[in-house]
Amino acid sequence: MSATAVDPYAARAPAAPRQFLHALNPLSKVVGVAPAMLLLVFVRDLATPTAFLLLSSVLILIGARLTRRTAALLLLAVPAGMAVIGIGFSLWVDAARVDDSAAVLQFGGWTLYAGALEIGFATGLRLGSIVVLALIGGLTTTGPDLVRASVQQLRVPYRIGYTALAAFRFVPRFGHELAVIRAAHRVRGHHGGRGPFARIARGWGYIVPLLAGAIRHAERVALAMDSRAFGAHPTRTERHLVPFRARDWVFIALCLAASAAIFIIFTF
């Protein structure tokens, strides 16, 4: 009996045809936006990062499955962060460089010029657009799929890819262990009182149980990998394929074309 590899995208695509970003190869979402993210570091105008910010936001809203948390991140946290960065950088701009522009605000001998605001908010928009471009792949890609794509398409040694993935999965494991330890302490009445010092003392009490749980989990992972002959051969059969289809090439081509058009229109 021959075993066939399971394509996870073939089963998921009909369920959500509108949310196309989840059906793309993770590498295509990196290659499509990486040139724009790199070039945005060097632009200084307001129009170019604004165009990328709007385009990437629309792309995420159309093609991604948004939860309340991710929607709040995209629609509230990112604009608020850009505003804080823009105002902060405006205050740091040397007034001698922009004193030929109009004065917006004045306190005694200190003056905030329009040129300083333009420089500050250009920086905030630039950083915000880079973050939202990164969210195109970050919100629609899982860690295991990115590792599988790197191993299958980029020929990254599976010893490196899956070892990094196993280490990355320690993070949610630590969160679960911490929740269990806290619950156990509350059941036993070891709350230690209230206030900031009691909280610090409780934190120190979590360190040893967390280390013990981490060592036990690392031993189980190592035994599981050894039992599956991990690292015994140069290649390894993949159970789940992450294919690179024609739709991925189309997505990359459209992203590069849109990026080139934006830079040509607003920069040159």
Tokens (6 digits) for 101: 């522009």
Long-range (24+ apart) CB contacts under 8 A made by 81-87 are 81/124, 81/127, 81/128, 81/131, 82/121, 82/124, 82/125, 82/127, 82/128, 83/124, 84/124, 85/120, 85/123, 85/124, 85/127, 85/128, 86/117, 86/120, 86/121, 86/123, 86/124, 86/125, 87/120
The answer to whether residues 69 and 115 belong to one domain is yes
Q: pLDDT at position 124, please?
A: 94
The answer to whether residues 190 and 58 belong to one domain is no
The answer to whether residues 79 and 202 belong to one domain is no
The answer to whether residues 198 and 248 belong to one domain is no
In a domain, 135, yes or no: yes
Least confident segment among 86-90, 106-110, 209-213, 247-251:
106-110
In a domain, 132, yes or no: yes
Tell me the average pLDDT across 117-145.
Answer: 92
Tokens (6 digits) for 108: 């005694």
* Confidence category of residue 99, pLDDT binned at 50, 70, 90: confident
In a domain, 237, yes or no: no
The answer to whether residues 189 and 65 belong to one domain is no
Q: pLDDT at position 6, please?
A: 46
The answer to whether residues 185 and 94 belong to one domain is no
The answer to whether residues 23 and 131 belong to one domain is yes
In a domain, 1, yes or no: no
The answer to whether residues 187 and 131 belong to one domain is no
The answer to whether residues 49 and 108 belong to one domain is yes
Asked whether the whole model's pTM tops 0.75, one would answer yes
In a domain, 3, yes or no: no
Asked if pLDDT for residue 4 goes beyond 50, the answer is no
Total number of domains constituting the chain: 2
The answer to whether residues 37 and 105 belong to one domain is yes
The answer to whether residues 141 and 170 belong to one domain is no
In a domain, 133, yes or no: yes
Structural domain containing residue 257: 8-153+243-266
The answer to whether residues 178 and 259 belong to one domain is no
Least confident segment among 87-91, 166-170, 198-202:
198-202
